Amino acid sequence: MSAADNPLPTLVSMRGIVKRFGANIVLRNVDFEVRAGEVHALLGENGAGKSTLMKVLLGIHAPDEGTILVRGEPLASISTRARLEAGVAMIFQELSLVPAMSVADNLFLGREPLLFGGRIDRRRIRREAVELIAGQGFALDPDALIEDLPFAARQQVEILKALSRGASVIVMDEPTSSLTVREEEVLHTTIAQLRGAGIGIVYISHRMSEIFRVADRLSIIKDGQIQGPFATEQITIPEVSRLMARSAAVVVMKPKARREPGEIVLEVVDLGTARKLRDVGLALRAGEIVGIAGLVGSGRSTLAKALFGLIPDARGDVRLSGREIGALATPPRIRAGMALVPEDRRAEGLVAQHSLTANVALPNLADLTSRWPGVLSWRRETEMFLKFRDALHIACREPGQPASELSGGNQQKVVFAKWFASNPKLLILDEPTAGVDVNAKAEMRALVLRAAEKGMAVLLITSELDELAGLADRLIYMVDGRLVPGEATPRGEEEIRTVLQQLAITHEAA
Amino acid sequence: MTNSTLTRGLTPSPIPAMAAARRAFGWQKAKRLARDHITFIVFGLITLFFILHAPNFASLATANAIGRITAVVSIMAVGMTMVIMCREIDLSVGALASLSAMVGAMLMQTGITPWLSIPVMTAFGALVGLINGLIVTRLRIPSFLVTLGMLSILSGTALTLTDSLPVPIGDRTLGKIMANGTLIGLPAAVWWTVVFALAGIYVLHLSVIGRQMAATGGNEAAARFSGIDVDRAKVVAFAICGACASFAGYMLAARASAGNPSVGVGLELNVIAAVIIGGTSLFGGRGSVVGSVIGAIFIGILAFGLVVIGLSTTIQEIVKGVIIILAVSLNRR
């Protein structure tokens, strides 16, 4: 694409970027550019290299090879500060605003204009804030406290903050993930205004329909290589899905039809929560792996937590092996035979500073008492750990080692071990392979299959579509807290992706 | 082999590199041990200083005296360890000790036998702790605020009961049972410290509920996701802490043969300092009852030693504060 095709000047241009982490090549010869007044969408699976590319752009990582040109000039320094001065800023998912301070104070945080004697010039702050807000045509009250503002307005403050520091390129990472539908409209208006002002926007999102609505061009990262840019008018959603799919080599072989589903283990009728879930009904049989496909934020984790009794306002019938447990708290549900490998291993799965033995024992304390009532048997505890250390090949130094010292993959195995040890009837897995390396992923997937072969009913939530395609016996789809009908036995990850995108679009239309 | 626990599961290897690696492990373990117990090393050094510089410091009489002095803080520290283990705090223990001294003394005036009054007072403390725990867990108010309020309520009540007059205890047996009597050469106060420490070890380090407290403080979300009733663990910790504080307050009354409404003022600070010096993490999840008792004894030795070497009580307070901050900063992790 030459300059003749498009009169807009290029603001930032990354050429031939290579980034390695040890022996691992994360970015291979990536070209990426942003023009003034365009929205350039960046797509890719988790771990494809999206965030690494953005960190290189923002100066958090130095590229091993390649150049970055800002308005045609090569960047001398790689520091974040230099990048800010060059006009690249990122709007974070977790906004970097002080909730208890006003909009105006937040805009000038850290660079307050001073009066004689070091007093803050509040009048000037307010005056300049009003000018800034008016300059972008936002409907913001400069005196409002951030904590009183809706999320979309906070995003506007973030954007203003970036602009007032001279940003001409703004990176937005999943900007709609926390927004309501109405707020999304506000954001889209904001983006249109920025575009009109000649700001270049990098737009990262999983929602394809949104990308096609907002973006002018899109690029796709897969396994560290970039494809594109494509003009959004000249490409279709199925074509993009195909480009995003990983090579066939990664897909686990599917040992279908080896397991006979047994009797019904889990039966859910009309499960709902105040905020997220609506009328969820499903049934799982012993030895069956059922995958839940859905986009980030569709309520899959909420469903997992609601089934596990962790959401107090959940209402509905939950039967485990015929026993009604919908009104029970978590401990009796675990005793009834439920297990949950949670989404966030470090925050929810492990007590990181405690020993491996103690972590595996935690849900099973009642089974580990000695002859004395209420007293733990250290011997039985250690035996339990050693048994599962060997069964799951947990690489560790000693049973008393703190869980924090293990690698991500081994930590996840410890989480699996603690629930395998409880011998559950139903195993709920929420992103079981998130943040572990490729080999550990394969081991984790083998564990899931083994659980099903042992006769557990497995409910699998994962954003990795090849995992869904490779492991699940059948799929159910979730959009905005509801289960929606869809192809239960799709042929591969591409088909899952297409179904998901279509469901998202039909749902938005409805 | 000294480091057999580390090498368990490895077959003995003739390869020198492995032996070297194992030695390195031993050295690392020693270093880790030193780092984990740095406060105890400092404690030992300071005690050594007193032994060398204070006349007759190293004697059984001194040990008995320190044991008697520190019993109150030691016993309260046992309960406080459980609360801090859960990543909570109880600031009301000193005020509860005052109130218990008063209520206990008034209870003795009704003519109840001392042996019965002790469990009654302990139960009274457990009840107050239970209320603390229920407010913290049910209303989701930070324990710092709940127990700060409770401190005020309890000390106010203690003063109001008799219009801030002390209540004498006529019965001599109570003083003997709780503080001054001796058994096999050791004062009763020391025996009670041992009893509470053993009970604390049993609850915190051996039993299921103790493990639940540790998990609650270590990572509340993970504990909840593992089916631990974290609220119950906290309530139990607060109740035990209250029971310990009340017993200790009653012990103070028994020792002085009178209930004094301000006898426990400021004790909570010594108790918390003892727990933290003893290696329990203020951020929960890690700690030990024995450490807390050692911490309490350390504070006692410090106070006693400073008197013996002739520092005035006012300067003592300053030195004590500095050493406590130093000890805790060394132990911070």
**Residues B269-315 pLDDT 10s:** 889 989 988 888 888 888 899 999 999 998 888 888 888 888 877 88
**ipTM of this complex:** 0.75
Based on the domain organization, do A19 and A98 belong to the same domain? yes
Measured between CB atoms, which of A331, A352, A354 is closest to B214? Answer: A354
| Average pLDDT value for chain B | 85
A415 with A433, same domain? no
Contacts of residue B202 in chain A, CB cutoff 8 Å? 375
For A464, residues 6+ apart whose C-beta sits below 8 A from its C-beta are: A45, A46, A433
| Contact check, Cβ <8 Å, A352/B8 | no
Mean pLDDT of B61-71: 84
Which SS3 state, helix, strand or coil, does residue A467 take? helix
Q: Is the same domain home to A138 and A40?
A: yes
**Overall residue count recorded for chain B in this entry:** 333
Same domain, A172 and A45: yes
Taking an 8 Å cut-off on Cβ atoms, the answer to whether A308 and B225 are in contact is yes
Contact criterion met (CB < 8 Å) for B222 and A308: no
Q: Map out the domains of chain B with their CATH numbers.
A: 39-331 (1.10.3470)
Per-residue CA distances from A274 to A271, A302, A413, A458, A484 (Å)? 11, 11, 34, 26, 19
The string of DSSP codes covering A287-355 is: T-EEEEEE-TTSSHHHHHHHHTT--TT-EEEEEETTEE-TT--HHHHHHHTEEEE-S-IIIII--TTSB
Chain B residues closer than 8 Å to A376 by CB = 206-208, 211
Q: A403 to chain B: nearest residue by CA?
A: B218
Residue ending a domain, among A248, A281, A298, is A248
Asked if A349 lies within 8 A of B229 by C-beta distance, the reply is no
Residue A490 and residue A401 in one domain:
no
| Residues A393 and A269 reside in one and the same domain | no
Q: Please state whether beta strands A457-461 and A289-294 pair in parallel, antiparallel, or not at all (unpaired).
A: parallel
Instruction: Verify cis geometry, omega within 30 degrees of 0, for the bond prior to B166.
Output: no
Helices (H), A3-75: 50-58
Contact criterion met (CB < 8 Å) for A310 and B218: no
In a domain, A5, yes or no: no
Q: How far apart are CA B132 and CA B129, in angstroms?
A: 5
Q: Report the residue of chain A nearest B8, measured CA to CA.
A: A398
Token output for B274? 């003892």
Q: Where are any strands of DSSP class E within chain B?
A: 167-168, 182-183, 186-187, 258-259
Asked whether the beta carbons of residue B225 and residue A334 sit closer than 8 angstroms, the reply is no
Same domain? A131 vs A215:
yes
Distance from CA of A375 to the nearest CA of B (A): 4
Asked if residue A439 and residue A388 are part of one domain, the reply reads: no
Q: Report the SS3 class of residue A76.
A: coil
CB contact B28 to A (< 8 Å): no
Q: Are residues A316 and A372 in the same domain?
A: no
DSSP B308: H
Q: Is the pLDDT of residue B177 over 50?
A: yes
Helix axes B93-109, B230-256, angle to 10 degrees: 50
A122 belongs to a structural domain: yes
Q: What is the pLDDT of residue B10?
A: 37
Kindly list the residues from chain A whose CB atom is less than 8 angstroms away from the CB atom of residue B199.
none
Q: What is the CATH number of the domain that holds A123?
A: 3.40.50.300
Kindly give the pairing relationship between strand A39-43 and strand A217-222.
parallel
Is A1 contained in some domain? Answer: no
Q: What is the mean pLDDT of each run of 10 residues along chain A (510 residues)?
A: 59 90 82 93 79 84 86 72 75 74 86 81 90 85 88 86 86 78 80 89 83 90 86 85 61 54 88 86 91 82 91 89 89 92 89 93 89 86 92 87 85 92 93 77 86 91 84 88 80 79 69
Confidence check: pLDDT of B233 > 60: yes
Contacts with B283 from chain A: Cβ below 8 Å: none
Task: Evaluate whether residue A32 is within a structural domain.
Answer: yes
Task: Please give the Cα distance from A362 to A368 (Å, whole number).
Answer: 10
- Looking at the domain assignment, is residue A214 inside a domain? yes
Q: Is the domain of A298 the same as that of A414?
A: no
- CA pair distance A407, A157, nearest whole angstrom: 39
Q: Which of B190, B177, B249, B181 is nearest to B68 (CA)?
A: B190
Subunit contact A350:B222, Cβ cutoff 8 A? yes
Q: Are residues A45 and A172 in the same domain?
A: yes
**Cβ-Cβ contacts under 8 Å, A363 against chain B:** 226-227
Say yes or no for a CB contact (<8 Å) between B208 and A366: yes
Confidence of residue B18 (pLDDT cuts 50, 70, 90): very low
A105 lies in some domain: yes
Choose among A99, A194, A80, A88: nearest CA to A146. A99
Segment B182-192, tens digit of pLDDT = 888 788 898 99
A343 lies in a domain? no
Which of A423, A439, A470 terminates a domain? The answer is: A423
Question: How many C-beta atoms surround the C-beta of residue B70 within 10 A?
Answer: 26
* Residue that wins the pLDDT comparison between A495 and B104: B104
Contact B226 A342 (CB under 8 A): no
Predicted TM-score (pTM) of the model is 0.74
> Which residues from A are below 8 Å from B209, CB to CB?
374
Domain tally for chain A?
3
pLDDT of residue A1: 42
CA-to-CA separations, B180 to B69, B100, B173, in angstroms, rounded? 11, 19, 10
pLDDT of residue A342: 92
Contacts of B207 in chain A (CB under 8 A): 374-376
Nearest chain B alpha carbon to A305 = B225
Q: How far apart are CA A71 and CA A35, in angstroms?
A: 9
What residue of B is the nearest CA neighbor of A364?
Answer: B226
Residue B3 has pLDDT above 70, yes or no: no
Q: What is the residue-wise DSSP string for B20-33?
A: HHHHHHHHHHHHHH
Q: In terms of residues, how long is chain A? A: 510
Q: Please report the pLDDT score of residue B24 as a whole number.
A: 52
Q: Which domain holds residue A411?
A: 349-423
Query: Are residues A279 and A131 located together in one domain of the fold?
Result: no
Residues 128-187, chain B, touching A (beta carbon < 8 A): none
Q: Is residue A253 part of a domain?
A: no
